[in-house]
Chains A and B, each alone.
Chain A
Amino acid sequence: MERRARRKRGPASAGLALIATTLLAGLSTSAFAAEEVAKIDTGDTAWMLVSTALVLLMTAPGLALFYGGLVRSQNVLGVIMQSFTCMAVLTLQWILFGYSLAFGESHGGWIGGLDFLGLAGVGQDPNPAYAATIPHLVFMAYQGMFAIITPALITGAFAERMTFKAFLVFTLLWSTFIYDPMAHWVWGVGGWMRELGALDFAGGTVVHISSGISALAAAMLIGKRLGHGHEQMPPHNLPFTVVGAALLWFGWFGFNAGSALAANGLAANAFVTTHVAAAAATCGWMAIEWLQRGKPTVLGAASGAVAGLVAITPGAGFVTPLAAVAIGVLGGIICYYGIRLKESFGVDDALDVVGVHCVGGIWGAIATGIFASKAVNSAGADGLLHGGPGLLLTQVAAVLATLVYCFAGAWLLLKVTDALVGLRAEEEEEYAGLDLSQHSERAYVLGSVAD
């Protein structure tokens, strides 16, 4: 990076640099480098540091509480632990080799090279190929938070029955063989989906469809929870779930508006569309549930918000706030029906990862093909409503490719995990709950009834 920047400078400054380099020989060159790369924008950098932290907040406490409240009380720690562990283990995977596989120099558009192994060459200077005004380290960290939350989303499908060991093996395999290549296809320079012209502003395909369809494979392979269908399994703490959903909403500003990679008008557009879609989808889900079932439920409102956030993710930086209303309302309604799909398939997708993330993600990708406008983002494309029918086809192609690759890949990796360590907890362990059987702890020690 440093070398590339130096080559661009004129002869006069090159001379100065030579003198400066000589003077500073033996000392740290960081001060010099900072002066030389005047391209770093402090506003952009500040916003991206905050966005990075916001996206981390989505995994824990956001997702951890959202999922934790939905399970039965004997499994709440087990579920929270899986989200929390993603933050730890996938951070190491990311800096050691994950980032390089996703954003290293492209090999045929399929996978990144090993250039950034162990963060080699990822320093305080920007990487203009991805974000010219913020340190490369910030870009890497920001993307790393996406790599953390995506596998954590899948845990909702196999909640309450997978061993911790199996979760760990599967998550590492999935991140390496599914997430990293997917991120490269869509966001990597030279990635084939990016070259195709598919639009995915903040990770509709990479994060939501990929995790959602993998969740389907996981729920199918691991089988239903013991007692599913005849025992009641109501959520044990809906206030947790609502707090979790609200934290996801809050963190999503970093997820979507941060995907502008700068503190600018595009970030503002993504910020507003994100907020509007979440609000609209909450109303949409609440309304349809009220009409169909007679009562608007709190869990419905929280689920609607998440559905709207999923739906707007690919289009946040390409559509107008008014389009976000349509994307949100329809997203809430579509996902309301989406979560009923599992009944016809007979799959125990415990926390509705498929119905919300896969179905919502597909709707978001298609909606982007309908509502995207170059007036919002000149780097984007015009969708169906703005005279560009081609984009919709491209979006559908990207969705289909994601569905096929991630479902088949997840299926294979689950089989590998099963062969290595076994997927499911023993029957007795499952009855006792994951908290006790996997971690030797209980969430509610003061409870008078140990149920």
Chain B
Amino acid sequence: MKKVEAIIKPFKLDEVKESLSSIGAQGLTVTEVKGFGRQKGHTELYRGAEYVVDFLPKVKLEIIVSDESVAKVVETIEKAARTGRIGDGKIFVLPVEEVVRIRTGERGSEAL
């Protein structure tokens, strides 16, 4: 089992979510986050004082999938979240040791 973590542009969230549903992904956790990569921030101007905003708003989504479907899920996110411009984000894949469905006590891939 793997965890796919993706940092994407906030306005791409709906598109990514729909694409993931269409390939049968079940369950998704979303967090509003701030950060920066190669995309530079912007400058704000208030009464002549400049504020450099480094941290840009992004959305982080987390989804746990079986080993077989990792490639498909990553590709789907990649396609749906891409605009081709700087700041599109990144996708990380991490190993997951255990999953527990709290309601039933199921373990492992059963619980996905």
Contact = CB atoms under 8 A, between A and B. Distances in A.
Interface residues of B, number: 9
A300 B44 CA distance: 13
Nearest to A289: B48
A299 B46 contact: yes
Contact of A300 (B47, B51, B52, B53): B47
Interface string B49-74: 00111000000000000000000000
A303 B75 CA distance: 50
A293 B45 contact: yes
B32 interface: yes
B32 A448 contact: yes
11 contacts: A232-B51, A234-B44, A234-B46, A234-B51, A289-B48, A295-B45, A299-B46, A300-B47, A303-B47, A339-B48, A448-B32
Contacts of B53: 232
Contacts of A340: 48
Interface in A227-262: 232, 234-235
Contacts of A448: 32
A293 B48 contact: yes
Nearest to B44: A234
Contacts of B44: 234
Interface of A: 232, 234-235, 289, 293, 295, 297, 299-300, 303, 336, 339-340, 352, 448
B51 A299 contact: no
B35 to A, nearest CB: 14
B47 A339 contact: yes
Contacts of A300: 47
Interface in B5-63: 32, 44-48, 51-53
B47 A352 contact: yes
Contacts of B48: 289, 293, 336, 339-340
Main secondary structure of the interface of A (DSSP, over half): loop
Given A232-B51, A234-B51, A297 B32 contact: no
Interface of B: 32, 44-48, 51-53
Contacts, number: 24
Contacts of A289: 48
A393 to B, nearest CB: 33
Nearest to A340: B48
Nearest to B32: A448
The 10 A-B pairs of least Cβ separation, nearest first, read A232-B51, A234-B51, A234-B46, A297-B45, A339-B47, A299-B46, A293-B45, A299-B47, A235-B46, A340-B48
Query: Which of B44, B48, B52, B53 has the most CB atoms of chain A within a 10 A radius of its CB?
Result: B48
Contacts of A336: 48
A114 B44 CA distance: 53
Nearest to B52: A232
Contacts of B32: 448
A148 to B, nearest CB: 26
A374 B45 CA distance: 43
Nearest to A232: B51
A350 to B, nearest CB: 11
A358 B96 CA distance: 64
A297 B47 CA distance: 8
Contacts of B52: 232
B1 to A, nearest CB: 29
A303 B48 CA distance: 12
A352 B46 CA distance: 12
B10 to A, nearest CB: 14
A239 to B, nearest CB: 14
A111 B51 CA distance: 47
A187 B52 CA distance: 48
A339 B52 CA distance: 20
A72 to B, nearest CB: 12
B36 to A, nearest CB: 15
Contacts of B45: 293, 295, 297
Nearest to A448: B32
Query: Which of B32, B47, B51 has the most CB atoms of chain A within a 10 A radius of its CB?
Result: B47
A448 B51 CA distance: 23
A300 B49 CA distance: 11
Query: Which of B32, B45, B46, B51 has the most CB atoms of chain A within a 10 A radius of its CB?
Result: B46
A303 to B, nearest CB: 6
Contacts of A234: 44, 46, 51
A87 B55 CA distance: 41
Nearest to B53: A232
Contacts of A232: 51-53
Given A289-B48, A339-B47, A339-B48, 15 more contacts: A232-B51, A232-B52, A232-B53, A234-B44, A234-B46, A234-B51, A293-B45, A295-B45, A297-B45, A299-B47, A300-B47, A303-B47, A336-B48, A352-B47, A448-B32
A91 B32 CA distance: 47
